[in-house]
Amino acid sequence: MKQNICDIHLAKMTVKDETWRESVGSGHAYLTLREDYREHVREIQKEINFKSIRFHAIFHDLVGVYQGTIDGKIEYNFQNVYKIFDFFLSEGFTPFVELGFMPKELSLGNETVFKYEAHITPPKDYALWNQMIRAFVLALVERYGLNEIKTWRFEVWNEPDLDAFWTGDMEDYFKLYKKTVDTIKSVDQDLIVGGPATSKIMWIQELLDFCYKSKTPIDFISTHHYCSDVSFEPGFENDNVHYRGQHVMMNEVKTVKEIVENSPFKGIPIHFTEWNVSPIHEDTYGKDSVFTACFVLSTIRDVSPYVDSYSYWTITDIFEESGPSIDPFSGKYGIVNIHGIKKPVYYAYQYLNSLYPYVLEQGDQSTIVTKDYKENIRVLTWNLPQVLQEHMFGDDYELDEETVTKQTILKGLSGAYRLQTYMIDQNHGNALTAWKEMGRPQYLSDVDIRILKQKSQPVLIHDEVVNVEDELVLQNDIYAAGLVYHDLRRIF
């Protein structure tokens, strides 16, 4: 039995960490114009309220910024840019602006990535790239004001260490980085720019060294990682994507922190602008199951002391890098599916949002006990099992199926409380399981969607008024990949 003992008066309290809230990822920019996408974002912001959002392809030809030469003059069009940023600002986001990909007319070659054919080459003419970047930033300043734009972050490109996203080499990326930073800083020195936005925490030391030697500004470091990824560990081929164990998430974040703190740029913010269980688009269990929720809670708990933002990839399954979802649950990255049906990971974030401001010190690393000034209590506890074998193309992972008994002893309470306890696991509050039980229909009717939205909700397993004299014991058996949420509200 795992046991927490918390004296709500004597336990050391800290203010709740909300690093998880600082940013979230999205698909490519043009999707923002879809109304179903906007409906998902509105509900998520109402119930979770992320602070910032990052997305791909603001310079894609669908958005239409670069219009080319018309009557001997280079023309730009910011109509869609304004619609995109107007919407995000209206929903309370501060944009985290990924500067990419390359407009087709500026591309050095024809190489593209994704179904929406994003161009991934260096610019054929850096003068034209610089001119576009300056026009883009000035257009943002004109519409939203310089003071507002000074709160935004500008990130140069996306995963340039991967051939899939950048046809140049590292030196080519550093050239792009310097040209871009110098151009943005020519508008105002206080504008915030950084990178390298690499996969697998690559090129961080190299970029810091380059910036120091070339006297190029860098205001933050950004990078990405996934637990299931290629590895440089002995015994694994570099192209063999495998589940590396949840512990690697904290190890890699700490590695980045150490690199930055030992550099001439000590103290600059660290932003992980993509992360998830798996980068494989078809990994349904890794991204749509209750395992995902437990993995997210453990990872956020581990890494929060070492990062300034930790941007879950992504906000919704309206995400079409490999094309539209074939099935309602197909391993896309979102916290809701294409119909807005909430995955278990959605509730992990919603519960984090609902926890009270003060966290009580406890020993169990998979339990969070919080209180408010009225001595109302909320407890979130979960069971993340060991993965015995991953299956990244649709099948469930094989897990250590151990059920854990979690006991939280709250001391120092007195009075009448209403205790409500909610559960999510394989069979409770799990739309993926419910969809499978329906027979995995590819196309959902309105009735199907309503049923699955209801089935996605955490199940109330306990609801009673309890009279407490000094001590209350909260105890539940939590199945492998399950979580429990206790809401204890003082009546008198």
Q: Which residues are catalytic?
A: 159, 274
Asked if 197 and 222 count as a contact pair (C-beta separation under 8 A), the reply is yes
- Tokens, residue 172: 């080519």
- Tokens, residue 331: 């391993």
Asked if 377 and 410 count as a contact pair (C-beta separation under 8 A), the reply is yes
What amino acid is encoded at 478 in this protein? I
As a whole number of angstroms, the distance between CA 390 and CA 393 comes to 9
3-state DSSP assignment of residue 368 = strand
Nearest residue to 256 via CA among 300, 196, 212: 196
As a whole number of angstroms, the distance between CA 141 and CA 220 comes to 21
Asked if 57 and 116 count as a contact pair (C-beta separation under 8 A), the reply is yes
Q: Are strands 270-276 and 13-15 parallel, antiparallel or unpaired?
A: unpaired
Place of tokens 């979770």: 48
3-state DSSP assignment of residue 30 = helix
Beta pairing partners, 428: 425
3-state DSSP assignment of residue 33 = helix
Asked if 12 and 361 count as a contact pair (C-beta separation under 8 A), the reply is yes
What amino acid is encoded at 490 in this protein? R
Maximum CA extent, the chain = 82
**Helix or strand run (H / E) with residue 310:** strand 309-312
Nearest residue to 272 via CA among 114, 159, 160: 159
